[in-house]
Amino acid sequence: MSDPNVANTVEHPTTILLLEDDTDLRETLTDGLTGAGYHVLPVTSASEAYDHTLLDQAHVAVFDLVLEHGQSTPVLLYIKMHPHYRHIKVIVMSGYDYGPQYASICGADQFLKKPFKVSALIAMIRALQKTEANVNTEKAP
């Protein structure tokens, strides 16, 4: 029997593309998500996040809204508009007050206000996965 606290299975863990330019936060999130059973692809810039090799692996993307050299919204829009990547669930995180509205306009699936606990992010990812699993079950013949 599988442990509900571990992401999918060891053979097929959920892969998360993590875009965060703050080194400490990126490392903390990577450690927490990895500890919860996720496979994490950490990147520090929007240009790195456009890498198709990474996007092809991702099931969920967690993006900091405001980066040192711009914003993550162009990547978010690219994911949501590209037929090959629009299945990727996107969580946007930010400490800015306009973050939730901006994330919604850009098509993010969820928004997480900074600061937050890693457990809150894990719960949000699991909720998105559960919703996706329910949708896929309803579509099955």
> What is residue 14's predicted lDDT score, i.e. its pLDDT?
94
Domain that holds residue 111: 15-139
Instruction: Give the CATH number of the domain where residue 68 resides.
Output: 3.40.50.2300
Q: Could you report the average pLDDT of every consecutive run of 10 residues in the chain (141 residues)?
A: 44 88 97 97 93 92 89 90 94 92 90 96 94 58 59
Q: Are 85 and 54 in contact (CB under 8 A)?
A: no
- Which residues does 16 contact at the CB level (< 8 Å), separation at least 6? 33, 38, 39, 40, 41, 58, 59, 60, 61, 62, 125
> What is residue 11's predicted lDDT score, i.e. its pLDDT?
56
Q: In this structure, is residue 61 part of a structural domain?
A: yes
Q: In this structure, is residue 8 part of a structural domain?
A: no
**What is the pTM assigned to this prediction?**
0.84
C-alpha span between 118 and 45 (Å, rounded): 21
Q: In this structure, is residue 1 part of a structural domain?
A: no
Total domains, the chain: 1
